[in-house]
Structure 1
Amino acid sequence: MNNSVYILKDRAILYVNGQDARDFLQNLISNDINKVTDSSSCFASLLTPQGKFLYEFIVVKHKSGFFIDCEKSQSEEILNQLNLYKIRSKVEILNLSNEFVVASFGYEKYLSIDDSKDILGFTMRYREDPIVLDPRNKNLGARLIINLEKLYLSLKKLELKDDKIENYYHQSHKLGIVPKNLNKLKNKLFGIECNFEELNGIDFKKGCYVGQENTARIKLKNKLSKRLLPVEIIDGKLDEDETVYCNEIEIGKILINEEYPFALIKFSNENFNKDLTLKSKNGSFKIFIPEWLKI
């Protein structure tokens, strides 16, 4: 069994609390907040009114409110966006990133812990702190959200050993799930094009939320023709926002060009062939389609 743990220092923890917290989040996020209980967490996003991607996060019940586990580079913007929508709602929104930290460890290790269940998003308490089986994909393992002061004692008790965060990024990219640089996606694609339906981040049965109308229309009218897909560089380098070509036909755009690259690809285009080498101005690469994505 792999006993590695990754301290995700690039994650932030926001806290939404107050008597209106549940209704407040329900009106904003793409998933159903009623799925979030003491024993269940969810993945969700915040979209523009047009349904374009802004932010993504994991929502975890904590005391009388909700932890928002998000990328640190997006945390202040998420805080500001939530405050913008707050108006007269009785909610308090705090940034607790100086107090809490997220640690991720493997799926098998998670299953070895007493009371764990093999259910995506299942949430249990370890010495009062939530451990969540990642609601997107179990191969991303579990997440412990814990006060910094208690972190290393809990890791010791769980017999977990600190490992390089790059190994976590690599595993996430290999699974086809964006590990970092989420700001490069902002306003550039629809939330549903980020594969949020397959990653359990959209609920099509809940009521209205910001961006719901276009998201539902794309789904119901079968208009989904582009998807965010991971890239494996063969040669050269990639530049952000450059065009992707297959046999000299334009079929997409590079959105994340750094160590763990992703491109928005017109997967339904007759010229797209996942087995062919694709080109950009300065590089050649392949797209790989994750096992969990049926296209």
Structure 2
Amino acid sequence: MADFVSFPKRGLVCVSGPDAATLLDGLLTHNVAGAGPGACVYTAMLTPQGKFLFELFIIAPETGTYWIDVSEPASFAKRLSLYRLRSKVTIEDKSEAYMVGAVWSAEALPSNTIHYPDPRHSELPQRFIAPRVELPSEAAAFAAYEQTRLGLGVPDLAADLLVEKDFILEGLMDEMGGVDFHKGCYVGQEMTSRMKRRTTVKTKLCRVRYEGAAPAFETPILADGWEVGRMRTGGPGHGLALIRFDRAQKAISEGQELRAGDQPIQLDPPSWMQVPS
């Protein structure tokens, strides 16, 4: 297996200029002040209704310059440009020149690579940004990375949530440090704060276990014919599902089995997750 894996669906967007921090802080769920050359700010961009759009990992190689690891970088850069107006900001999609990914052994990467801990979980491989190079076949490396991520119960919101439909609190983003509930206003803040204050988050991504191959993405999870969730990303033996906990826990307490198609499903929330009561 390779010592690192690049993420083909993710890329790098550079935001720089005197007004870069102000622009980003007004749009994202976390302020970018904590970003540095090896320090990452984990955050998201939402719709005005508080629905998920983009999951972001931001570092700052120098003052006033922010490198953003994001899925669908061209779409993100375009949407960000809509908010720029007269701000003194430059927005560049650098995905053709740089790759982003995860690394088990930093020595395997070029010397001009930036790598930093993944803020979502201490046991995940470090993330990196590096000049784009030709890579050998890395299917095994990506599979190993996904098994690690899913085994820890860590969502990849770009893969596990539906854009413009799901909420980031359903994706455990606040529990992974991606939401600052004390910062100033940002797009989608009202709904996000309301959900947190009123503890209305009954549906969350949760690690699940099963025998054999994963059920297909969006396979309904049923208990006695009633839907209690839907499968999201899965791997051999375990994966993540979006679970309506009040329904699922009631079904389990009544001795009903959860099933995705013909497969029995067991809820297996990780110890760091806040399970809805």
- What's 1:197 paired with? 174
2:127 pairs, out of 139, 143, 159, with: 143
1:271 aligns with 2:270: no
CA distance in 2 between partners of 1:142 and 1:162 (Å)? 18
**How many residue pairs are counted as aligned between the two chains?**
267
SS at match of 1:23: helix
Task: Output the aligned Cα RMSD.
Answer: 3.2
1:164 aligns with 2:141: yes
Contact 1:254-1:264 within 8 A present in 2 as well: yes
1:223 pairs, out of 188, 194, 200, with: 200
Contact 2:151-2:239 within 8 A present in 1 as well: no
2:95 pairs, out of 94, 97, 104, with: 97
CA distance in 1 between partners of 2:15 and 2:163 (Å)? 23
Contact 1:6-1:163 within 8 A present in 2 as well: no
Counterparts in 2 of 1:233 and 1:80: CA distance versus 1, 3 Å:
farther
Following superposition of structure 1 onto structure 2, how do residues 35-50 of structure 1 map, counting pairs within 5 Å? 35-50=34-49
CA distance in 2 between partners of 1:263 and 1:136 (Å)? 18
SS at match of 2:221: strand
SS at match of 2:246: coil
- What's 2:114 paired with? 130
Q: How far 1:211 moved relative to its partner?
A: 0.8
Following superposition of structure 1 onto structure 2, how do residues 1-295 of structure 1 map, counting pairs within 5 Å? 4-63=3-62, 64-71=64-71, 74-106=72-104, 127=111, 129-148=113-132, 164-179=141-156, 182=159, 185-234=162-211, 238-256=215-233, 261-269=239-247, 270-271=249-250, 273=252, 277-281=257-261, 283-295=263-275
Contact 1:134-1:141 within 8 A present in 2 as well: yes
CA distance in 2 between partners of 1:284 and 1:137 (Å)? 28
* Runs of 5+ unmatched residues, structure 2: none
Q: Residue 81 of structure 2 aligns to which amino acid in structure 1? A: N
SS at match of 2:33: helix
Q: How far 1:51 moved relative to its partner?
A: 1.1
Deviates more, 1:128-137 or 1:25-34: 128-137
SS at match of 1:97: coil
Q: How far 1:34 moved relative to its partner?
A: 1.7
SS at match of 1:234: coil
CA distance in 2 between partners of 1:174 and 1:233 (Å)? 12
Contact 1:29-1:45 within 8 A present in 2 as well: yes
TM-score (norm 1): 0.78
Contact 2:203-2:242 within 8 A present in 1 as well: yes
* Runs of 5+ unmatched residues, structure 1: 114-125, 153-160
CA distance in 2 between partners of 1:80 and 1:215 (Å)? 24
SS at match of 2:74: helix
Could you give the per-residue CA deviations for residues 171-200 of structure 1, whole angstroms, max 9, x where no partner exists?
Answer: 111111234862862123211111001111
CA distance in 1 between partners of 2:19 and 2:211 (Å)? 51
Counterparts in 2 of 1:286 and 1:21: CA distance versus 1, 3 Å:
same
Q: Residue 289 of structure 1 aligns to which amino acid in structure 2? A: P
Q: Residue 268 of structure 1 aligns to which amino acid in structure 2? A: D
Contact 1:236-1:284 within 8 A present in 2 as well: no
CA distance in 2 between partners of 1:3 and 1:257 (Å)? 22
Contact 1:181-1:256 within 8 A present in 2 as well: no
SS at match of 2:185: coil
Counterparts in 2 of 1:25 and 1:228: CA distance versus 1, 3 Å:
same
Contact 2:38-2:114 within 8 A present in 1 as well: no
Contact 2:73-2:95 within 8 A present in 1 as well: no
Contact 1:4-1:162 within 8 A present in 2 as well: no
Percent identical across equivalent pairs?
25
Q: How far 1:104 moved relative to its partner?
A: 2.0
